[in-house]
Chain A
Amino acid sequence: MHFGLIAAGCATAALWSLIRFLASLRRDRLVADTPRVRVRSAAQGYVKLVGRAAPAGDAPLSAPLSARTCVWWSYEVSHNERDDSRGEAGWQSIDSGVSIHPFMLDDVDASCMVGPINAEITPTEHDVWYGTSPRPGSTPSKRRIRRKFDSYRYTESLLRVGDQLSVMGELRSRSEIDGGSLAAGASAHSSILRTSIISQPANGEPFLIAALDDVQLLRREKVHAALYFCLGLTSVVLCAWAVEQAVHGAGSQAVPAL
């Protein structure tokens, strides 16, 4: 066995786990320490908003594979070629996509647009089902178990209309007078319209959209941190074992030569 290679692999895994562990701890604190604000009075900058998802236009989006109504979707179609001589070749992605359409987040008394590009989204629905054609002929509720002749796998994630969401990102607002710009001045009966959009932060902070409340978000980050720590520790032990094996192996090979 190539214990040197195993040791190198484990060391890389340990380093990666350590970095992810520290990043998860940082995110845990960020989620816990960022106060929740209301859309109507939110200042510009990195904020945490909580509200219900709503379509940005008159009609909600339609999911590409299942045609279900939603405000955000992502999908992937994978194909598995069966080869009689070599068995299954494994799933190859043949089509995928992620919605970039903005949607609205409605809190108690105001709304905010959410631009989901580059967001880390925890969907409310995640379905995997199978079929025989590149486009599914059935809805996700059926065909969840793969049949022998199913060669296509469909994966679809959705945020549905009305889902309760926590969004952490950078809020930008623009004010304008109903029917004109703010600079043009306001008449007695004109009202000031405030348009807010939350999107990916420019300073590298995480952009999270999750159908989870604060407690669930925190628990998730803590669980991730704990898992990364355990993975790192295991990798270190394996790395040390592989190094010892490599050293002993080299030593035992060297003895006959003496």
Chain B
Amino acid sequence: MIAGLIVLFLAVALSGYLIGVYNGLVRVSAAVKLAWSNLDVLLVQRHDELPKLVEVCKQYMRYEGETLERVMKARGGVDAARNSGNISSVGVAERELRAGLSGLYAVAERYPNLKASDAFQQLQARVSALETAIADRREVYNDAANVNNVRIRAFPDALVASVGDFPPALLLHFQADDKSGVDMHALFAR
């Protein structure tokens, strides 16, 4: 009698636990998609803001077509990668765009009238704020992806994950170039 009730209790507890594990896996998988959607919203917002910034720059920068072209091309690259849903491509395209924007801001230093322009200041602040928010949400996305990846590989979740469709999530890297060593010789040779 006692043994029977204990076995029943343990069986119900184990069943509830396994259901909880499955639901937990569903939740972390959905969290990855949600984190990506939240990041994607900001990528779209920045996509919409960049032409305005480039237009304002064009009014003052007569001879910087290449710089502006690079930004617009990188913007198109991010949009294409985003639409394809390929996380790795987004990371590469995002690096290009960030490099292009850094170049644009550096060149803008040579144009005092542009820097003093209200429209430029406002758009630069807006794009910078979006960049910061995108960087923050990338962290959140990577956290969610990491939780998902650990869950589907760790015991006992891995057992439940093997019977369902729980693919690993790719991490999103923007700053790979920053990891390369700084060439101090080149820096001081300037």
Contact = CB atoms under 8 A, between A and B. Distances in A.
Contacts of B28: 33
Interface string B119-138: 10110000000001100110
B6 A22 contact: no
B9 A14 contact: yes
A38 B57 CA distance: 32
Contacts of B5: 236-237, 239-240, 243
B34 A40 contact: no
A181 to B, nearest CB: 18
A186 B2 CA distance: 73
Interface stretch (A24-32, A57-65, A152-160): A24-32
A43 B38 contact: yes
A35 B31 contact: yes
Interface residues of A, number: 32
B45 to A, nearest CB: 12
Contacts of B137: 41, 43
Contacts of B24: 26, 29, 33
A36 interface: yes
Nearest to B19: A22
Contacts of B17: 22, 25
A22 B20 CA distance: 8
Given A33-B24, A33-B27, A236-B5, 14 more contacts: A18-B12, A18-B16, A21-B13, A22-B17, A32-B147, A33-B147, A33-B151, A35-B35, A40-B133, A188-B121, A232-B9, A233-B9, A240-B1, A243-B5
12 contacts: A18-B13, A22-B20, A33-B151, A40-B133, A188-B118, A188-B121, A188-B122, A232-B9, A233-B9, A236-B8, A240-B6, A244-B1
